[in-house]
Amino acid sequence: MTEQSKIISNNPFGLNVALPSKTIEEVKKVVKQETQNISANPFVDYLEQNDKVFSGEVAREIRKHQSQIYTLGQVMREGYPRTTFSING
């Protein structure tokens, strides 16, 4: 075995790099902060965020707006005279 192959086999690529302790501490701090922000129960969070959908409030709002649109259409149709079709001209 040559001298160069001994050096390579003793220090495999990527494993011979030492990270500074400051970098390791920064990584630990960031990981700790990010793991605290993760929710323990995403399903409960989903239900809380979409409570208006599941309680029926959104459906009531949709029906209310549809009713308003229909009423506005009726008022507008009553304001214009209706034309009638006549074969005689």
Total number of residues shown for the chain: 89
pTM: 0.41
Task: State both tokens at 10.
Answer: 């003793």
Any idea which residue has 């995403």 for tokens? 42
| Chain mean pLDDT for the chain | 77
Residue 77 has pLDDT above 70, yes or no: yes
Q: How far does CA 53 lie from the centroid of its chain?
A: 16
Are residues 47 and 54 in contact, defined by beta-carbon separation less than 8 angstroms? yes
Task: Give the residue-averaged pLDDT of 17-34.
Answer: 83
83 — pLDDT class (breaks 50, 70, 90): low
Q: What is the pLDDT of residue 60?
A: 93
- Residue 47: which residues within 8 A CB-CB, separation 6 or more? 54
Q: Please state, in angstroms and rounded to a whole number, the distance separating the CA atoms of residues 41 and 39.
A: 6
pLDDT at 11: 58
